[in-house]
Amino acid sequence: MLDQIPGRFAYGEEHEAFRQSVRAFLQKEGVPHVGQWEKDRLVPKDFWRKAGEIGMLCPTVPEAYGGLGLDFGYNAIVNEEMAYNGVPAGFTLQSDIVCDYIAHYGSEEQKAKWLPRLVSGETITAIAMTEPGTGSDLQAIRTTAKKDGNHYVVNGSKTYITNGQNADLVLVVAKTDPTATPAYKGMSIILVESDREGFKRGRKLDKIGQDAADTSELFFEDVRVPMTNCLGEEGKGFIYLMSQLPQERLSIAVGAQASAQKAFDETVIFTKDRKAFAGVVFDFQNTRFVLADLKARLQVGWAHLDWAIRRHLAGELTPTEGAAAKLWHTELQWDVMDKCLQLHGGAGYMNEYPIARAWRAARVSRIYGGTNEIMKELIGRSL
C-alpha cells in the first residue's frame, strides 16, 4: 500500500485521510469493473459522477465554484491511488490539466458555468492538441478557428484525444491567426461543447495498452461557437499551454511512480509463491538481486517525487524540473515493468496476469505529455 512506504514527506494527515476514502471508493466502484471496461474500451459516465460525489474530481477548485479549495497534493493522491489500483479513468486530465486552464485563464462566466460541473462529474472534458500530422510540434497544427461575425468557425481534426468519446466539453487548440509570425502567436484555446453542430467523434482508437482508457479521433466541420468561448486572450493559447506544463508532467511522473511500485509489490508476491526446482522463484539469487535493485531505485524515486510535489505546492517547480521528473519516473516505470514481467516468466506474457496489462499500459508514459526525447531536449537547453 502506498501509505506504508516509509519516509514520505509530501503529504500531511489530511492528505492521508483523503487517500483512505479514495482507495475505498476505487476498491468498491472501480477495481471490480475494470475487466468489463476494458472489453467496452470505455469507462461509464456514472463512474465519473460517483467520483465527483466524494470530491475526487478537481479538488483544487475554489469553494466559490463548487470545489473543495484544496492543494495539488490531493490531486496527486488521486493519481497515485488510481495508478496503483489500475483504474484507468481520465480523471487526471480533467483535474490536473483542463481544470487549471479554466480556473487560471477563463472568464468569470466560463468559470461559473464549467468548474462546478467538472467538480461534480456532470461534465467530462478533453483537450484537443495533437493532430494526425503533428505530434510534439504543436506550432504545426492546422485546425483553425476563423471569425465570422460574433462567432468562431472551427475546422480541423484531432487524434489521440483522451476522454474523446465521453467528453461533453473539448478545449480545442486552434489557429485564430494562421498568418501570425512566429506561429505560436496565432494560437488560441477554444471551448467547444459536444452538442455543437459539426462536431463529430471518430473511432475509439485501438491501442496496445490502457484498453479501458477512452482515446479517440475528433472532427470539427464548420463548428460555430460564440467568441466568448475563447479561453483567455486570443493568440495566447500557446503561452497558456506552456505555463501549465510543469504540473502536467509532474502528474505523469506521479502515476508512473505509483504504477511501478504496484508492479514491484505484485512481483514480490508472485516470485515467493511461484514454484521452481523444488523451491520458489524468489529463492534464486538473480531474482533477489533484481528485486533489490528495483527496491533501491523505487526508494530514490519516492524521495524525488515528494521533493517535486513539495516544490510544486510552493509554486517553485520549474518547467525544466517538471520535464526531468517526467523523464526520470517514466524511464524508471518502464524498467521496473520490464524486469517484473521477466520475473513472471511465461505468465508475464499472459493478459490474465496484472503485470502484462500494466506493462502494456506503461509504454505510453514515455510518449505522452511530450516524448522523453523532447524532455531531454528541454533539459539540455537549460544547461
Q: What is the dihedral of CA 181, 185, 191, 192, to 10 degrees?
A: 10
Whole-number Å distance between alpha carbons of 187 and 139: 8
Q: Check whether 56 has a pLDDT greater than 90.
A: yes
Chain segment 94-131, per-residue pLDDT in tens: 999 999 999 999 999 999 999 999 999 999 999 999 99
User: Would you place residue 276 in the very low, low, confident or very high pLDDT band (cuts 50, 70, 90)?
Assistant: confident
Cβ atoms of 365 and 334 within 8 Å: the answer is yes
Give the residue numbers marked as catalytic: 248
**At 63, is the secondary structure helix, strand, or coil?**
helix
151's enclosing H/E stretch is strand 151-162
Q: What is the CA radius of gyration of the chain?
A: 21
pLDDT band at 277 (very low <50, low <70, confident <90, very high): confident
**Percent of the chain residues topping a pLDDT of 90:** 89
125-128 and 169-175 beta bridge pairing = parallel
**pLDDT (0 to 100) of residue 135:** 67
Cβ(152)–Cβ(145) below 8 Å: yes
Higher pLDDT pick, 138 / 236: 236
Question: What confidence score (pLDDT) does residue 180 get?
Answer: 87
Instruction: Give the domains, in start order, of the chain with CATH numbers.
Output: 2-123 (1.10.540.10), 126-236 (2.40.110.10), 244-381 (1.20.140.10)
Question: Whole-angstrom Cα distance, residue 303 to residue 78?
Answer: 19
Cell 487548440 found at: 173
Nine-digit cell string for 344: 513472471
* pLDDT of the residue at 259: 97
Residue 137: the pLDDT is: 73
> Is it the case that residue 136 has pLDDT exceeding 70?
no
Q: What is the grid cell recorded at 2?
A: 502506498
Using the structure block, give the residue that is written with the C-alpha cell 488510481.
82
State whether residue 220 is helix, strand or coil.
strand
Strands 279-280 and 187-193: unpaired
For residue 247, give the nearest of 48, 92, 103, 115 by alpha carbon: 92
Nearest to 313 by CA among 15, 38, 4: 15
Arithmetic mean of pLDDT, 347-368:
95
pTM higher than the cut 0.75: yes
**Cβ-proximal residues to 210 (8 Å cutoff; 6+ apart), any chain:** 88, 360, 361, 364
Contacts of 1 (CB under 8 A, 6+ apart): 23
By the 8 A CB rule, do 355 and 337 touch? yes
CA 180 to chain CA centroid, Å, is: 31
Give one DSSP letter per residue of 280-329, joined into a string. Answer: EGGGSHHHHHHHHHHHHHHHHHHHHHHHHHHHHHTT---HHHHHHHHHHH
Q: Name the H helices within the chain.
A: 13-25, 34-40, 45-53, 72-85, 91-92, 99-105, 108-120, 237-243, 245-273, 285-313, 319-343, 354-362, 372-381
